[in-house]
Amino acid sequence: MAAQNRRTTIYLDVDLHKALRLKAIENSCSVSDIVNEAVRECLAEDADNITAFDERVKEPLVSYDEMVKKLKEDGLIK
């Protein structure tokens, strides 16, 4: 099954666009390929973060004040 693509318009900084075009030429691919891969990586990172948050949701909360006091008690800060 072939991947379906949707056309969209994005506005890039002139220098970013130039860098993307040069990278595309160097890698024998399209600017769209590079942008798609970057978006996939960004979304995968978000998915990893959501998983990590879900795994830690039941951990007790520690206030900033408590953490600073503990770091000081442990000699990690002055």
The amino acid that residue 29 corresponds to is: C
Distant-in-sequence, close-in-space partners of 31: CB < 8 Å, separation ≥ 6: 17, 20, 21, 24
Evaluate if pTM is beyond 0.85.
no
State the DSSP string of 34-64.
HHHHHHHHHHHHHHHHHHHHHHHTTSPP--H
Sorted by where each begins, the domain ranges of the chain are 14-73
Rounded CA-CA distance 62/30 in Å is 47
Q: Which helix (H) or strand (E) holds 20?
A: helix 14-26
List, for residues 2-53, the tens digit of each pLDDT value: 679 999 999 999 999 999 999 999 999 999 999 999 999 999 999 999 999 9
